[in-house]
Structure 1
């Protein structure tokens, strides 16, 4: 077992940490959370989270930002520190999935379950993009592992150790502190459904005890949950008062009825009624295993040992599928460990019984043929012939990955049609691993040219460092509101403009930009205005001079400024 765990951990570390220090933050949400963690380090305040405007109330609990802040403190404020803790939790999720798979199916099944999870597209991508979803998935998986152990299985009798009651409570509390109520809604929702279905045990012939029988341990574990989860909410309520309760709890409740996108308030967007979305997305998100998901679910209904995982996946997907919020792929990541076990159950039985399960093999093959392969093929062809000019720099990153991944899908599906399932699995594992490594290497080489925000912000910081005696204003013109820029800017080098909430002056209107530069030039001692933008129109503004341009991103200065 130790060798298996070490092997999975080693592969996970390569896939999740390779070139972590070279690849910049590419997701705005990652930059948002990382900037909050950066502000924790600056202020020393671990209680009240702050992004830019100190008056805004952040509607997320603090645990993930605490992890980031501690990692920054230990390793510096950089991408490696941002990724390390996140990757360790992802590897922990893989190992928990392996342990459940091993108890259900033996060593081969455990390894297969761990690999299926690790190599699914969405799990890989989100692990490389630190946010809240991996820690949430880890703690939810830990809670289900406790349910799994307390209920027993056909292969592993229920444990009599009360420790799993307390681990369950700790995991539940930490899930709540990671992403709010959804962290407890998924495990508790599954428990309620299992109870309703009278499925508190997998196999009552194995002397399994229902999870609710030991009232003392349930009571004590509930106290433990409250001891861990409650203090931050109580302290924050005392600091911020009723506005905190209104925003945090109302927003986290209302987001299931419509999107709520604006930081610090309850502004809403129209409800999203695409309930079907996740049921289609899963083919792509769980690739290269997407074609197995629905056949495996149908097959799983025949096996009592799969009921926990079926309910787990149904709750984790259903909560978000039937909400009226955006159907963003990463939201259903907590279902992925369960799906990995469900798919492993099908594949293990296919490898044992072969011809008897022919219809499941062929259904999976046809789903790949009809959905997955065409999708990846179309994307690959599109990249060859009509990739938009402004993002040509992404070709070296995306194209090799898509070619290798699509080739693996095609080859693995051909093996499925031939009913050579083991060869198909080996092909999927090999091709996806290779394609991810290629993707990481190419991203390390080219991503800073394709998305040069970090490079330009470093150049802006250098200008600020060279002019410490001058008043320097940092500007972002148009585009999305700054996120990555806030993380990469060195606040202490820049002065605050009267219209700024933070170290960056975000200007969305051309007239305001021109007026700012004209007004500055009229001053007896003009400030140094330095900014970045993707808008080519700034080249026509005579008060501005262009310092550097990379892939359409422009670094510019006011005309009165020193040119580096």
Structure 2
């Protein structure tokens, strides 16, 4: 296919433009860094940037990281270039979503045709859940991109048979990258599509066979993953083992299942896939039916559609069996769904006419982008409303207030570097540019008693009277409060205690 054609360039511009537009719309709204557990990743990047802890990071509560650090490493160059702010932290997610759209377009046009590839890419960048993911400080978008590259490399290697050595090497490299982003689940999801071998074997005895050129790739995979793990183990010791293997892997695989399954648990991921990716999931459901009932006549196209189906179904089975279920977990399965949906939408366009279909697509695109804009405006209203009882609204307001409090504190001339934090907002230190993990009341008491200089400590929603510290240290004085209006609940209060 001609990579220099006008339509090809138009698709590239459209994918990048739409992804950028959604990103800018989401970024123009209030910060949600206090939501979706993003504050943990904020703590990790602060630990890296301020303390130089590259191998192992801790969050602001002093808790060791639960996942490998590659996502934190990806954020570091952007924070170094653009500072510690929300746009810099979200750039890895934005670039991952746009790169995923471009990758799906390229693969789709090669396998199913340019229109199918373009529509598959639009299903990536315009799916409602992507409007959330594109500005999240979380691992999911980067993890999805790595899993997709690994899965497609695995298919290329299998299809190439004895000539697939380079693709197997790429598979193991991307498997290592996905493992260093979110753990070993990546290699399971990326290799699930290879069950197509047994499906194809029934109908095509002369199907491609697995190559044997795995040794260099496996060696590189082990060197990258185990190299980091041993360095981290030397640095953090048993705490790393306890967190990653017992608190994360063992807990989710074994402990959570002690209560048994319910039918709703088994079906929930399927409903997530259908509802959170509308309207594109409707085309995907029909495409899945067609793969099973009316497979493609061309052997190469049939292999690829069955590979995508196995990729999806294996992943869906895994997520249906675990108890910890969120719609975001399904992101690594969506590229397979989008490719199948793109081909089905292209077929529909051929049936009703491309002009009519283009008009329908514009309307749907405007609705999806408009709904993102409306959601951002609704969030803006929630972040300023004082009587909203939803947890998400309170988190939005807290994130907004944390930024305002930090700006006011920096303008006051007080020293943020030597400030002890008790229960301040999680994102406050992002704007202060510090990494001072929270301490307990007992630890604060020890610091005040042993320090020869005055001690500044910051409180959030906790009242100084609740500490009882005024009784033991009556010379404690408040030196900062935000908001300054005493009638409003405090977001940040700074007290000075000591001799």
Shorter-chain TM-score category? Answer: 0.7 to 0.9
Residue pair 1:143, 1:168 contacting (<8 A) in 2 also: yes
The CA deviation at 1:51 is 0.7
Listed as ranges, the matches of 1:242-321 within 5 Å are 242-257=238-253, 273=262, 274-301=265-292, 302-303=294-295, 304=302, 305-321=304-320
User: What is aligned with 2:453?
Assistant: none
Partner of residue 42 from structure 1, selected from 39, 50, 71: 50
Which residue does 2:469 correspond to in 1? Answer: 519
For structure 1, the 5+ residue unaligned runs are 261-267, 356-419, 534-544
Q: TM-score, normalised by structure 1?
A: 0.70
1:275 is paired with a residue of what secondary structure? helix
Contact 2:44 2:72 in 1 (8 A): yes
Conserved 8 A contact 1:476-1:531: no
Helix, strand or coil at the partner of 2:64: coil
Q: Is the 8 A contact 1:25 1:484 kept in 2?
A: no
Q: Is the 8 A contact 1:97 1:337 kept in 2?
A: yes
Alignment CA distance shift 1:300-1:283 (3 Å): same
**Inter-partner Cα distance in structure 1 for 2:122 and 2:143:** 20
Cα offset, 1:30, TM superposition = 1.5
1:187 aligns with 2:190: yes
Name the SS for the 1:330 alignment partner: helix
Alpha-carbon distance between aligned partners in 1 of 2:247 and 2:422, rounded to the nearest angstrom: 31
Q: Does 1:468 align with 2:419?
A: no
* 1:296 Cα offset (Å): 2.3
Quickly say closer, same or farther: Cα 1:98–1:52, change in 2 above 3 A: same
- Secondary structure of the structure 2 residue equivalent to 1:525: coil
Partner of 2:364: 428
Q: Which residue is equivalent to 1:225?
A: 221
> What is the deviation of 1:446?
4.8
Select the structure with the greater relative contact order (CA < 8 A; seq sep ≥ 6).
Answer: 2
- Calculate the TM-score normalised by the size of structure 2: 0.78
**Matched-pair contact (CA < 8 Å) for 1:23–1:79:** no
Q: Distance in 2 between matches of 1:345 and 1:495?
A: 52
Residue 453 (str. 1) matches residue 398 (str. 2): yes
The corresponding residue for 1:14 is: 21
Q: Quote the Cα distance in structure 1 between the aligned partners of 2:290 and 2:151.
A: 21
Q: What is the total number of aligned residue pairs between the two structures?
A: 455
Instruction: Tell me the CA shift for residue 173 of structure 1.
Output: 0.4
CA RMSD of aligned residues (A): 3.9
Cα deviation code 1:76-114 (max 9, x no counterpart)? 000110111221111111111112211222111110000
Report the CA distance shift for 1:528/1:466 in structure 2 as closer, same or farther (over 3 A).
same
The answer for the alignment partner of 1:374 in structure 2 is none
Structure 2 residues without counterparts, runs of 5 or longer: 296-301, 386-395, 448-455
Q: State the SS of the aligned residue for 2:247.
A: helix
1:24 and 2:24 aligned: no
Q: CA deviation at 1:144?
A: 1.7
